[in-house]
């Protein structure tokens, strides 16, 4: 830490928020220990740390959801031992959560002023729609929204929905906006818009705490980075010291030798395992897609969110029917009526939304892993719990799933371990084609590296791996080839020597690579 | 047997003891036989309903199906002179078809179970009334079917055969629900249908099968009810039976959101409901209060169960916190 920097800044502006020696314990865990930080007006703080480092606890304390055991929180000059939800809101702290809290059946204006609608005079207390609109317009302008106040939220993209959340924060005259993993589900172009909004907030003197696993974005936008590790402050980086390697070093307490194990030499491409011939997905019925996935390769599928990648994966996995064209597996025609058909052909999908479609949170690890292949774990169609446990134990040790036993409910596991359960259920079944949709979203760095290793091991074993990802570093670091989608079509395929962020981006927006 | 089921069993025994203390006729063989006969009839119905509820669905047409298929069964054997085994097979097949149609509308055409089966409730009741011209279907004087009557309304060693039928069906269905691959699929779909589909389960077929099972068991109970009452006026026969079945499942620990409940639970739920009916009769409570008593007990039962869950969760947390403090002190 640089002492002189701090003191000069402090003499200019008093911090809006400061935490001193905050400690919070839960039964069995110390979530935060002797943690101190301060946020000055108009400052953008990057807050990073692996899952379980204490970020969520810190957020809960700032949001007034929980109170610290010891320590002081000073907001705008007033010291507290803990905040309440109302107190937090009242002093101008606003949250934009990773999972958005919008009503997608209502329009933008209704969402922003939900529960605080301007009312017309009279006994019926009807909503004054005209006034509502005039109140919303300047807020939307400030976040640079390109949509109107009466657009239904369901029609907005994720980034636009986040803008609505930020506008909502502005509407309560927020002085500190806390963004929790705002970009984790955003494609690149949309991320840029969001980062611009952050800069606009800063220009207005509003402080921002930006929590993200995407370190290059933190690098771009933060004035100062605070790194949490095991509930303690691992270090603070001033603007000029912020870079990827420093952050990672502080997060995990050591330097990673290489960022991702990039595959060494370009391999000899295997035979085509899965082939799409002029496939038309329901999302882009007029845009035929041609794509070959070869054995032994990791084919990265990049593109903006909404470019049709997930929809293509759904067709490959038999969830949606194709509106035209044909699929081939190992050169033979393939007709998929359901996911069950795809599974029967060795085509497996690790879906984008783990909790909704990847696993059953109420079932145990063993029950989740055996589910797609249950008849093989049964005798005379009666399920054998011991056969299930055997399969699950094997995957548990194989994948390093951290859980007390295979009978543990998957809902109690961390995101990384849940993802490993999803992988485990397919690995137990001898995959031929493995499709992974955003396989490392919301997963901490350690588990990410393990999942990359697994994908590589699968490819080395001759499996065709198709990885959909919006994380540029991941796509470039992990793939053998990169296919890029733009508005429902493959706009180009890059070979190893053409890999660069710029080329992927150019293709993603429909231009030619260099 | 889960803790929930055990609690329900204890409640049944306590209510039984209280009723016996007030009116000793509760334990008379004739009363027990009558009650267990009703348990058999309603139990078969409720198991079918349970299979649908476990998928997160609901089957509201049960009562009307009991009326329609009961009417048809009596008409087939008493008026049209069909052999009863043939009529039996026909009725079961009709039940299966009704279930199949419901399941098809729900899974393929994506209609809501509530809507589909509500329409079924109205349609089958109407058809039943039209079929008899709003008259009563019954046997002519002196018409007898000794084997059929023995199997449905008879007794073996003093135990009603309908009750024995329920036990046999319950054992089979217990294995299906709690031990078979199909049963696991039902639970998985009830918990999260999307995730089940993404695991390669043909969810549509499984859900359809649940409605077919419900249809078949309803048809079977329709025959039992018909042979028990021996005359059916389609305007009122079987009315509210779907609600008895749903109530039994809910009492037995089923969640209407799906994915939760046990076969023993639904049987115990049926037993408790019939015990309450019996209680109303034996304790001289005006029979007009019948439904009010049932509703009140179900509400209290669900409330106690839910509050108990909250209490237990809180106690676990306090325990964990105490252990943590003790551990810290020891260090």
CA atoms within 13 A on the CB side of A408: 16
Interface check for A418 against chain B (CB to CB < 8 A): the answer is no
Greater pLDDT, B320 or B287 = B287
Residue A441, min C-alpha distance to chain B (Å): 18
The answer to whether B317 contacts A27, with C-beta atoms less than 8 Å apart, is yes
* CA-based nearest residue in chain B for residue A354: B195
CA atoms within 13 A on the CB side of B60: 13
pLDDT surpassing 60 at residue A2: no
CATH 3.40.50.300 range(s) for chain A read: 3-92+175-252, 271-346+431-514
Nearest one of B61, B91, B60, B51 to B208, comparing CA atoms: B51
Going through A381-430 in order, the beta strands assigned E by DSSP cover 382-383
Interface check for A383 against chain B (CB to CB < 8 A): the answer is yes
* Other CB atoms within 10 A of residue A286 CB: 9
CATH no. of B29-272: 1.10.3470
* CA-based nearest residue in chain B for residue A380: B180
The answer to whether B180 contacts A372, with C-beta atoms less than 8 Å apart, is no
Minimum-distance CB partner of A340 among B180, B202, B317: B202
Q: Using an 8 Å Cβ cutoff, are A275 and A292 in contact?
A: yes
pLDDT tens for residues A44-68? 999 988 766 788 888 889 988 888 9
pLDDT tens for residues B47-56? 999 999 999 9
Residues of B in contact with A382 (CB under 8 A): 175, 179-181
Interface check for A106 against chain B (CB to CB < 8 A): the answer is no
> The tokens of A51 are what?
């899952």
Residues of A in contact with B185 (CB under 8 A): 374
Find the Cα–Cα–Cα–Cα dihedral B179, B181, B187, B189, rounded to 10°.
Answer: -170
Q: Using an 8 Å Cβ cutoff, are A204 and A216 in contact?
A: no
Across A105-134, average pLDDT: 86
Helix H or strand E segment including A362: none
What does the alpha-carbon distance between residue A128 and residue A338 come to, in Å, rounded to a whole number?
49
Q: What fold is seen in the domain A3-92+175-252?
A: Rossmann fold (3.40.50)
Nearest one of B141, B146, B57, B34 to B104, comparing CA atoms: B57
Going through A142-243 in order, the beta strands assigned E by DSSP cover 176-180, 207-211, 224-229, 232-238
The answer to whether B182 contacts A367, with C-beta atoms less than 8 Å apart, is no
As a 3-state breakdown, chain A gives helix, strand, coil percent values, each rounded to 5, of: 40, 25, 40
Minimum-distance CB partner of A359 among B175, B195, B259: B195
pLDDT tens for residues A481-513? 999 998 888 999 999 888 887 788 788 877 787
pLDDT tens for residues A134-191? 888 888 888 888 888 888 988 887 778 888 888 888 888 889 999 887 776 666 667 7
Under the banding of pLDDT at 50, 70 and 90, the label for residue B325 is: low
What does the alpha-carbon distance between residue A485 and residue A392 come to, in Å, rounded to a whole number?
36
In this structure, of A56-65, A243-252, B290-299, the range with the lowest mean pLDDT score is: A243-252
Find which of B198, B258, B325, B330 to mutate to test the A interface (most A CBs within 10 Å of its CB). Answer: B198
Nearest one of B255, B240, B235, B286 to B42, comparing CA atoms: B240
Find which of A23, A26, A27 to mutate to test the B interface (most B CBs within 10 Å of its CB). Answer: A27
Count interface pairs A-B at CB distance under 8 A. 82
Across A264-276, average pLDDT: 74
Under the banding of pLDDT at 50, 70 and 90, the label for residue B216 is: very high
Minimum-distance CB partner of B192 among A338, A360, A372: A360
ipTM of the complex: 0.83
The confidence score (pLDDT) of residue B112 equals 93
Task: Scan residues 284-323 of A and list those with Cβ closer than 8 Å to B.
Answer: 317, 319
What does the alpha-carbon distance between residue A374 and residue A391 come to, in Å, rounded to a whole number?
11
The answer to whether B191 contacts A28, with C-beta atoms less than 8 Å apart, is no
pLDDT tens for residues A356-415? 899 999 999 999 999 999 999 999 889 999 999 999 999 999 888 888 899 999 988 888
The answer to whether B320 contacts A358, with C-beta atoms less than 8 Å apart, is no
Under the banding of pLDDT at 50, 70 and 90, the label for residue A449 is: confident
* CA-based nearest residue in chain A for residue B201: A340
Q: Using an 8 Å Cβ cutoff, are A273 and A294 in contact?
A: yes
- Whether this model's pTM surpasses 0.95: no
Q: What fold is seen in the domain A271-346+431-514?
A: Rossmann fold (3.40.50)
What does the alpha-carbon distance between residue A235 and residue B53 come to, in Å, rounded to a whole number?
54
* CA-based nearest residue in chain B for residue A353: B195
């Amino acid at each position: 830490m640089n002492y002189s920097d701090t003191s000069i800044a402090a003499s200019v502006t008093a911090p809006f928020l400061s935490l001193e020696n905050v400690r919070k314990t839960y039964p069995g865990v110390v979530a935060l220990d002797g943690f101190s930080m301060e946020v000055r007006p108009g400052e953008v703080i990057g807050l990073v740390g692996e899952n379980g480092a204490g970020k969520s606890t810190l957020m809960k304390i700032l949001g007034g959801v929980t109170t610290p055991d010891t320590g002081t929180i000073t907001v705008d000059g007033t010291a507290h031992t803990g905040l309440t939800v109302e107190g937090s809101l009242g002093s101008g702290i606003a949250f934009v959560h990773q999972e958005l809290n919008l009503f997608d059946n209502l329009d933008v204006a209704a969402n922003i002023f939900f529960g605080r609608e301007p009312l017309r005079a009279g006994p019926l207390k009807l909503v004054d729609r005209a006034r509502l609109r005039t109140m919303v317009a300047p807020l939307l302008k400030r976040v640079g929204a390109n949509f109107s106040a009466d657009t239904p939220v369901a029609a907005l993209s994720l980034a636009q929905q986040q803008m609505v959340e930020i506008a909502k924060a502005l509407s309560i005259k927020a002085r500190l906006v806390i963004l929790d993993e705002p970009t984790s589900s955003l494609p690149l172009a949309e991320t840029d818009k969001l980062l611009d909004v952050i800069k606009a907030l800063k220009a207005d003197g509003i402080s921002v705490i930006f929590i993200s696993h995407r370190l290059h974005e933190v690098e771009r936008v933060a004035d100062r980075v605070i790194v949490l590790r095991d509930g303690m402050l691992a270090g603070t980086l001033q603007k000029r010291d912020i870079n990827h390697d420093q952050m990672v070093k502080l997060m995990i307490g050591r330097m990673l030798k290489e960022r991702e194990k990039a595959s060494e030499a370009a391999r000899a491409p295997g035979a085509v395992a899965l082939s799409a011939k002029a496939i038309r997905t329901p999302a882009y019925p007029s845009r035929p897609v041609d794509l070959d996935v070869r054995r032994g390769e990791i084919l990265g599928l990049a593109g903006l969110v909404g470019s049709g990648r997930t929809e293509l994966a759904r067709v490959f996995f038999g969830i949606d029917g194709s509106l035209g064209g044909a699929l081939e597996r190992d050169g033979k025609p393939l007709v998929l009526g359901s996911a069950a058909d795809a599974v029967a052909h060795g085509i497996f999908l690790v879906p984008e939304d783990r909790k909704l479609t990847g696993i059953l949170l109420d079932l145990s690890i063993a029950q989740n892993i055996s589910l797609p292949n249950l008849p093989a774990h049964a005798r005379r169609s009666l399920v054998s719990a011991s056969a299930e446990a055997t399969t699950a134990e094997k995957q548990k040790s194989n994948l390093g799933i951290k859980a007390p036993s295979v009978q543990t409910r998957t809902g109690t596991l961390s995101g990384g371990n849940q993802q490993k359960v999803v992988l485990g259920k397919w690995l137990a079944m001898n995959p031929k084609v493995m499709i992974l949709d955003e396989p490392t979203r919301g997963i901490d760095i350690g588990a990410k590296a393990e999942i990359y290793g697994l994908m590589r091991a699968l490819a080395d074993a001759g499996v065709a791996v198709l990885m959909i990802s919006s994380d540029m570093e991941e796509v470039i670091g992990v793939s053998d080839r990169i296919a890029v989608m733009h508005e429902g079509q493959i706009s180009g395929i890059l070979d190893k020597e053409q890999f660069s962020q710029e080329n992927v981006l150019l293709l993603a927006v429909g231009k030619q690579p260099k | 047997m889960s803790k929930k089921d055990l609690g329900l069993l204890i409640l049944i025994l306590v209510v039984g003891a209280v009723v016996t203390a007030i009116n000793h006729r509760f334990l008379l063989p004739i009363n027990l036989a009558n009650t267990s006969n009703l348990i058999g009839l309603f139990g078969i119905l409720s198991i079918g309903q349970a299979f649908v509820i476990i998928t997160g669905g609901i089957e509201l047409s049960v009562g009307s199906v009991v009326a329609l298929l009961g009417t048809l069964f009596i008409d087939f054997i008493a008026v049209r002179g069909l052999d009863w085994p043939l009529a039996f097979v026909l009725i079961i097949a009709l039940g299966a078809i009704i279930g199949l149609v419901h399941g098809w509308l729900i899974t393929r055409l994506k209609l809501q179970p509530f809507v589909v089966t509500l329409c079924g409730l109205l349609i089958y009741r109407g058809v039943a009334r039209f079929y008899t011209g709003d008259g009563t279907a019954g046997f002519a004087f002196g018409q007898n079917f000794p084997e059929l009557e023995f199997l449905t309304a008879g007794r073996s060693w003093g135990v009603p055969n309908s009750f024995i039928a329920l036990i046999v069906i319950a054992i089979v269905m217990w294995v299906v629900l709690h031990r078979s691959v199909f049963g696991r699929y039902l639970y998985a779909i009830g918990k999260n249908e999307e995730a089940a589909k993404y695991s390669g389960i043909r969810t549509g077929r499984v859900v359809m099968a649940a409605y077919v099972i419900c249809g078949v068991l309803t048809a079977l109970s329709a025959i039992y009810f018909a042979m028990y009452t021996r005359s059916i006026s389609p305007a009122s026969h079987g009315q509210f039976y779907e609600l008895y079945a749903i109530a039994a499942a809910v009492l037995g620990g089923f969640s209407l959101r799906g994915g939760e409940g046990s076969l023993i639970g639904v049987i115990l739920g049926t037993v408790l409901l019939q015990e309450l009916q019996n209680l109303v009769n034996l304790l001289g409570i005006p029979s007009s209060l019948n439904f009010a008593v049932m509703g009140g007990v179900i509400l209290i039962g669900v409330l106690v169960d839910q509050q108990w869950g909250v209490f237990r969760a809180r106690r676990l947390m306090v325990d964990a916190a105490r252990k943590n403090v003790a551990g810290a002190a020891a260090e």
